[in-house]
A and B are shown apart, each in its own frame.
Chain A
Amino acid sequence: MSSFQLFNPAAVFIFFACVLVSGIFTMNPVITVISLAGAILFFFVLPGQKNNRIHICTVLMTLACMVFNPVFGHNGATVIAVINNHNVTVEAGLYGIFLGLMLSAAVYWFASFSQIMTSDKIIYILGFLSQKAALVLTMALRFIPAYIRKAKQINDSQKALGLYKDETIISRLKGGARVFSILLTYMIEKTIITSDSMSARGYGGGRRRSFSLYPFGKRDVIFLTVSLVFTACTVYASSKGALFYNFYPFADTPATDFTALTGYTGYGLLCLSPSVIEGGNRIRWRYLRSKISHSDIRFPVR
């Protein structure tokens, strides 16, 4: 289990928003590389199922950006080839690589995001905005498996009645539409029953209160403060123009003055913090477990 499961979802959400917004919109290659490194590190530190196709996807995406950008864009001063009267420039290629890395970083961050922010947490976040919307979301999530189950039943019964043919594409489409039509009837009638029973139990009768299992504790306050402070460093550097980077006509060397370094450090620490929390907790657990000697463990005697 990830230690992020215990954090308040609002704090985790704000952290991800900070990382993504300040990482994507600063347009600085150093920031992008930091973001990618932090994202990959966190992706591997976070326990849980890993989808390894993501690596192929990001590599292909980076390569595609690297190839397509010089083909379609002809800005830049260093021409290396002329194809069909179009200049192919080094700068356009660099910008393509930069774009690909930025996209890859976003993909890795979102992979971790969807692993931590399960649907119940998204509903909790949405509840801040509108409780009605949160209710709609909850019920929709509950209806999805119910409809899939029902659709299967309808499909089977249609087949058993000999009405459902799947010989040609047209008959399959028609069969699908019939199953859908039956499902629609079921859904509408069920909706009316559900809503009537909700009203009978007093839904919408008074002021609504809600209950959630996510307290906002000390740990959330610290995590939130730390990430906001780090983000503020990056935003400060960016608003001073220290992180501004030009690809065209010549690619700049990244700025290394004090303000820019503040921005890089702040963003680096921001990207590193989830991995540190996750990894630190795991090391702590190992350490505590190692202190338990075997003689301390008493097996129940029967």
Chain B
Amino acid sequence: MTVIRNEKLRKALSVVIPFIFIPAVVLSGVLVFRGKSYSYGIFAISVLSVLLFICGFDRRKTGTRRLVLISAAVAMACVGRAVCSFIPAVNPITAITVLFAVYLGSEAGFMIGAFSALISNIFAGQGVWTPFQMFAWGMIGFFAGVFAKYLENHTVRLCVYVFFSGAAYSFIMDVWSVMWAYNTFNFKFYIASITSAAPYTVVYAVSNVIFILLLKKPFSEKLGRIKIKYGI
């Protein structure tokens, strides 16, 4: 575990890694694995962007309270997934990530979404899909933080956001499974996988709305309160 102490080197690395390293990895991989170039490309980009985000998280100054709150939120989402695991296609990770992201900001939202996917997969099953799940849930949290002004104290908008992000999550994962299996984006297969997953998608999107309706009130009361009381 090394921490680079040289300020100039650290700055140079922060430029080199996103703008040179990632394209280099993707391009060289695409040249090596010709038969699967596209699926390799999206795989590498999603893995590396999650890693980049985590590295960026270390550089910025995050208060201790915020840090502990993020890990508590991750634990909460994982407990929620474990509790709901007996119902297929229902888990509160999206809802909890969005609610926390609205109050804690986009960066915290990304971390909560991505880490909830990583940890809950320890018992739900790790797989090739883990980086994509981390990326998808991380992005849902990130955009919830970006649109926090519009979503805060507005249950209807929050429900709409969660409904569409639940559907988008399924659609993104379907894009991935089609790309992964067939290397090109084949529209016929995409429609087939969407229709076969349609009941799950609907159940997932609706369950997200139910979670929001159940959890919105306690969240806004309590997180709003500690925001004022402790200034997080």
Return chain A residues, CB-CB under 8 Å to B156: none
Count A-B contacts at CB 8 Å: 178
Decide if A244 touches B35 in the complex (CB within 8 Å): yes
CB distance from A210 to the nearest CB of B (A): 5
Decide if B214 touches A177 in the complex (CB within 8 Å): yes
Return chain B residues, CB-CB under 8 Å to A207: 3
When chains A and B are docked, how far (Å) is the Cα of A146 from the Cα of B183? 44
Identify the interface centre among A73, A107, A143, A212: most chain B CB within 10 Å of its CB.
A143
Interface secondary structure of B, over-half rule = helix
When chains A and B are docked, how far (Å) is the Cα of A137 from the Cα of B121? 13
Known A25-B33, A129-B54, A244-B35: A177·B215 in contact at CB below 8 Å: yes
Q: Does A82 contact B (CB under 8 A)?
A: no
Decide if B119 touches A135 in the complex (CB within 8 Å): no
Decide if B54 touches A191 in the complex (CB within 8 Å): no
Chain A residues with a Cβ closer than 8 Å to the other chain, count: 72
The stretch that binds A, out of B68-76, B140-148, B162-170, is: B68-76
The stretch that binds B, out of A1-9, A192-200, A254-262, A270-278, is: A192-200
Partner among B43, B119, B126, B210 whose Cβ is within 8 Å of the Cβ of A113: B126
When chains A and B are docked, how far (Å) is the Cα of A181 from the Cα of B17? 42
Interface secondary structure of A, over-half rule = helix
When chains A and B are docked, how far (Å) is the Cα of A127 from the Cα of B58? 10
CB distance from B104 to the nearest CB of A (A): 12
When chains A and B are docked, how far (Å) is the Cα of A169 from the Cα of B54? 40
Q: Does B6 contact A (CB under 8 A)?
A: no
Return chain B residues, CB-CB under 8 Å to A198: 64, 68
Return chain B residues, CB-CB under 8 Å to A27: 33, 35-36, 183
Quick one: which of B85-131 are within 8 Å of A by CB? 111, 115, 118-119, 122, 125-128
When chains A and B are docked, how far (Å) is the Cα of A72 from the Cα of B209? 33
Known A28-B35, A133-B54: A199·B64 in contact at CB below 8 Å: yes
Decide if A25 touches B79 in the complex (CB within 8 Å): no
Return chain B residues, CB-CB under 8 Å to A78: none
Decide if A147 touches B75 in the complex (CB within 8 Å): yes
* B residues whose Cβ falls under 8 Å from a Cβ of A: 1-3, 29, 31-36, 39-40, 43, 51, 54-55, 57-58, 62-65, 67-72, 74-76, 78-79, 82, 111, 115, 118-119, 122, 125-128, 181-183, 186, 188-189, 192, 210, 214-215, 217-219, 222-223, 226, 230
- Beyond A68-B192, A144-B78, A188-B223, 20 extra complex contacts between A and B, CB < 8 Å: A25-B36, A110-B128, A130-B54, A131-B58, A136-B71, A137-B115, A137-B119, A140-B78, A142-B75, A147-B76, A176-B214, A177-B215, A180-B214, A184-B219, A184-B222, A187-B76, A188-B226, A195-B64, A196-B65, A241-B34
List 20 A–B pairs whose Cβ atoms lie within 8 Å, in order of A's numbering: A25-B40, A27-B33, A28-B35, A73-B182, A113-B126, A130-B55, A131-B3, A132-B62, A135-B71, A137-B119, A140-B75, A147-B75, A148-B79, A173-B210, A177-B214, A180-B214, A185-B218, A187-B72, A198-B68, A204-B64
* A residues whose Cβ falls under 8 Å from a Cβ of B: 20-21, 24-28, 68, 72-73, 99, 106-107, 110, 113-114, 119, 122, 126-133, 135-144, 146-148, 151, 173-174, 176-177, 180-181, 183-185, 187-188, 190-192, 194-196, 198-199, 203-204, 207-208, 210, 212, 235, 238-239, 241, 243-245
